[in-house]
Amino acid sequence: MNKILILGCGSIGQRHIKALLKIGETNIVAYRTNRGQIKEIDEAIKANIKIFNDEEESFVWKPTHVIISNPTILHLKYLIKSITIGARVFVEKPLTNSYSEFEEASIPLTKIADYGGVVGFNLRFHSLIKKVKEVITSFQYGNVIYANLTVGHYLPFWHPYENYRYSYASRKDLGGGVLRTLCHEIDLAQFFFGKINKVFAKVEKISPLEIDIDDVVDLIVETQMCKRVLIHMDYLNPIPIRQGKILFDKGLLEYDYNNNEIFFTDYINKHKELLFTNNEDYDQQYIAQMENFINGNTDTACTIREGIEVMKVIYSCEESNRMARQVCI
């Protein structure tokens, strides 16, 4: 029987528990410090799990699977602890707070990279993103010429139950900031177009938000398949946005994640055609993600090795911003 340990029961931790219950997992425990913004666990969840308040006790329980969904600053500590006990491990994104943390880790980076774990880039499991990936890899519209990926939302609106000023997403000491918190688009760039080789970035705090970390990031990256990918991330958009434009030899593909639509406009007749739409339940991607994790399937998931590549890009963005020039990865 699977023995699943959840580290951290904030909004994303509870979402993972709900997904596990949906797929029939019943042997679930959670380790909580009760220091997060969410003090109470949903009653429907609490009735189906056991809660530990002692870290060592939770690991002595000998979990077969560990889900790390606490603040980013703690991810590497518990990843190493999970590797040490031989558990299959799932780490919420980003994998660590800083790429430099690997230099001080108690086990070599090669061992971490080779370990059979995954990183929680759930967008890979959404039907719209999978369709975009399918179009790219099929070459039905030719090669990719350039792409533009955009994500934004207003931080104070994100979690209505908490004061945004104290959220992990807004605190440097917990590994927050838009570059880390919204790094899905960095992973999508590598998921769609291959390994990122070069980056030029502006990473700044430019708004009146009462936070001590970046709230707007703009990147230009070069990947294996695409010479130019523009990525914009911000904490400022009053209406949540997650969109992409990908120019192929034969025309322009546009996707809108929030409206679950993909359009294609070809060069010949300039007609904008609806290529894909559905009404997929938002939680379905998390259910699919947990099914893959529990079963050890990494065909779609972001592997630990790929998660390390995202951390290299994040580090390179900050270096590029500091030096005001392009950085080779």
Q: What is the pLDDT of residues 154-174, one digit of tens each?
A: 999 988 888 999 988 999 988
Question: How many angstroms separate the CA atoms of 265 and 274, rounded?
Answer: 9
User: Do 105 and 233 belong to one domain?
Assistant: no
Residue 146 reports pLDDT greater than 90: yes
Number of domains in the chain: 2
| Residue 127 included in any domain | yes
User: Do 320 and 256 belong to one domain?
Assistant: yes
Q: At 210, which CATH number? A: 3.30.360.10
User: Do 165 and 312 belong to one domain?
Assistant: yes
Q: At 114, which CATH number? A: 3.40.50.720
Question: How many angstroms separate the CA atoms of 237 and 124, rounded?
Answer: 23
Residue 37 reports pLDDT greater than 60: no
SS3 label, residue 72: helix
Q: Between the CA atoms of 232, 235, 241 and 244, what dihedral angle is there, to the nearest 10 degrees?
A: 10
User: Do 196 and 317 belong to one domain?
Assistant: yes
What is the residue range of 274's domain?
A: 123-280+303-328
140, 266 Cβ separation under 8 angstroms: no
Question: How many angstroms separate the CA atoms of 86 and 228, rounded?
Answer: 40
| Residue 145 included in any domain | yes
128, 254 Cβ separation under 8 angstroms: no
What pLDDT is attached to residue 164?
93
Phi, psi of 86 (to 5 degrees): 80, 20
Query: pLDDT, tens digit, for every residue of 196-232?
Result: 999 999 999 999 999 999 999 999 999 999 999 999 9
In this prediction the pTM is 0.95
Question: How many angstroms separate the CA atoms of 72 and 180, rounded?
Answer: 9
Question: How many angstroms separate the CA atoms of 37 and 312, rounded?
Answer: 30
| Residue 276 included in any domain | yes
Question: How many angstroms separate the CA atoms of 313 and 255, rounded?
Answer: 24
187, 219 Cβ separation under 8 angstroms: no
Question: How many angstroms separate the CA atoms of 145 and 79, rounded?
Answer: 38
The mean pLDDT value for 293-308 works out to 94
Count of H-run helices and E-run strands, the chain: 11, 16
